[in-house]
Amino acid sequence: MSEIKPNKIKANKDLWPEAVKNSHDFQDPLFDYYYDIQYMCRKCKKEAVWSAEQQKHEAEVLKKVYYGKVLCEPCYKKYNSLKGRIREYERLWLLETESSKAHAEYIAKWLADIQEFKTYTDKYNRGMEHKLRRLLEVNQ
């Protein structure tokens, strides 16, 4: 008998995050099992699989609420590291005074990170992108 990776796993809905327990999905027999889900990565356009095992782990152990995946694993990792760097720039920014903001030496790097970040998601800080671009223009 050959080993075939299971693509259908029984859900333990009692372990779902509380927010989902109140949703219609909780009652829906369609969600009694996890199935491998194929999708195309929005960033690199490669085929990716959100495996039934991953879905179970994310919902029942990590208690995450997902309604689908848009990025493959490698792209998601890059997305997350950009997100972390941008969060760090935002933290540094709060420590600047009005006059030091214009001379902060990470502005160009921050703007470049935002510009790369937005190729992964629509949820980025457009206002900050605009502000950084203007700061760079003014200080050239």
Q: How many residues does the chain have?
A: 140
Touching Zn ion, residues 33-62 (CB under 5 A): 41, 43-44
Q: Which residue has the tokens 């206002």?
A: 127
Q: Rounded to the nearest whole angstrom, what is the least distance from the CB of residue 66 to Zn ion in the complex?
A: 16
Alpha helices, DSSP H only, in the chain? 18-21, 24-27, 52-56, 73-94, 98-101, 107-117, 126-138
Coil, strand or helix at 93? helix
When the beta carbons of 46 and 64 are compared against Zn ion, the nearer one is: 46
Q: Which residue has the tokens 């796993």?
A: 9
Q: Does 78 bind Zn ion (CB under 5 A)?
A: no
Q: Rounded to the nearest whole angstrom, what is the least distance from the CB of residue 15 to Zn ion in the complex?
A: 29
Q: Rounded to the nearest whole angstrom, what is the least distance from the CB of residue 81 to Zn ion in the complex?
A: 14
Among 52, 59, 72, 135, binds Zn ion (CB under 5 A): 72
Q: Does 111 bind Zn ion (CB under 5 A)?
A: no
